Amino acid sequence: MRKIIDCHVHLDKYLDEEIHTMMETLDEVETLISVSYDLESCKRNSYLSRIYPHVKSAFGFHPEQAIGSDEEMADLFQWVYSHFDEMIAVGEVGLPFYLRTSTSWNSTMGPYLELLEEWIKLASKKNLPISLHAIYDDVPTVCSMLERYNIEQAHFHWFKGTDKDMNRIIQNGHFISLTPDLIYEKDIQHIAKGFPLSQIMVETDGPWLFEGPFSGRLTHPNMIHQTIRQLSDLKAISVEKTYETLYVNTKHFFRL
C-alpha cells in the first residue's frame, strides 16, 4: 500500500484550473486536508470540499497577518460554529513568528495569544484535532497552552525548533509533519531522524514553492512520494512500512 494523505495544504490558494488539473493527476493521494487562512478562505475550502470528495476542510485564522476588528473576528467564529459539521479540524492557527520579525510589525503578542486560546477552546469543546503554526521560540508557549486545556490531538505543521521542544512535543503525544524540503534541508532531516515515525505525518503546505528537485514546479501533493522515500532512507525503515505508518497516523489523527 502506497496511499498518502496531504495533511496540510492551502488548496483555496490555487487557481480553479490548477485545482482541476491537480485532482485529475493525483497519484495514490487519498485525501487532502485543506487548512484555512481567514473567513473567505474558510468559505472557499467549504466549497471545494463539497465539489471534490478528496478534500476535507479545516477552519481557522492564519496568524501571520493582522487580526481583524472584533466584529470581523466574531463573524469568523460565528461562521465556523454554523459550519461545524463540515470541518475536520481547527486550522491553521497559531502565533506570528515571521510577521513580528518583519518591519511591518506594529502590534503586541497579547491579541494573538488571546485569539489562539479561543481556537484551542473551540478544539477542546468540539473535540477536534488542531493544526498549528508554531515554530522556534513560540513552541514552548503553545505547548503550555495545549497542556492547560488538555489538548491531545495537536499537529505542529512544518515543525522547526530545538531538540528540547521536539522532546516536549513527543512526550505530549502530539504530531509533526514533514514537507518536501526534507529532501534538501539538513535541519529538517535532523528533526525527522529524532522524531518517532509513529508521530509523523506528511504535507506539502502548497502552493508554497520548494527548491532542490522541485524548483520551478507548482507544488503538487504527488511530491509527498519523494518525501516519504527520503524519510525511509533517513530512518532506515522500509519504504512500505514508512508509507503504511504515515497513512495510518494521519487517518487516526483526523479520524478519517
177: cell is: 509533519
Classified as helix, coil or strand, 129 is: coil
Chain CA centroid to CA 44, Å: 17
pLDDT of residue 164: 97
For each of the chain's 256 residues, which pLDDT tens digit applies? 699 999 999 999 999 999 999 999 999 999 999 999 999 999 999 999 999 999 999 999 999 999 999 999 999 999 999 999 999 999 999 999 999 998 889 889 999 999 999 999 999 999 999 999 999 999 999 999 999 999 999 999 999 999 999 999 999 999 999 999 999 999 999 999 999 999 999 999 999 999 999 999 999 999 999 999 999 999 999 999 999 999 999 999 999 9
pLDDT of residue 104: 83
Taking the whole predicted model, whether its pTM rises above 0.95 is answered as yes
Here the CATH number for the domain that contains residue 125 is 3.20.20.140
Output helix, strand, coil percentages for the chain, rounded to the nearest 5: 50, 15, 35
For the chain, what is the domain count? Answer: 1
Range of the domain at 17: 4-253
Sheet holding 29-34, edge to edge: 4-9, 29-34, 55-59, 87-94, 130-133, 154-156, 175-178, 200-202
pLDDT of residue 200: 98
CA 2-209-222 angle, to 5 degrees, is 15
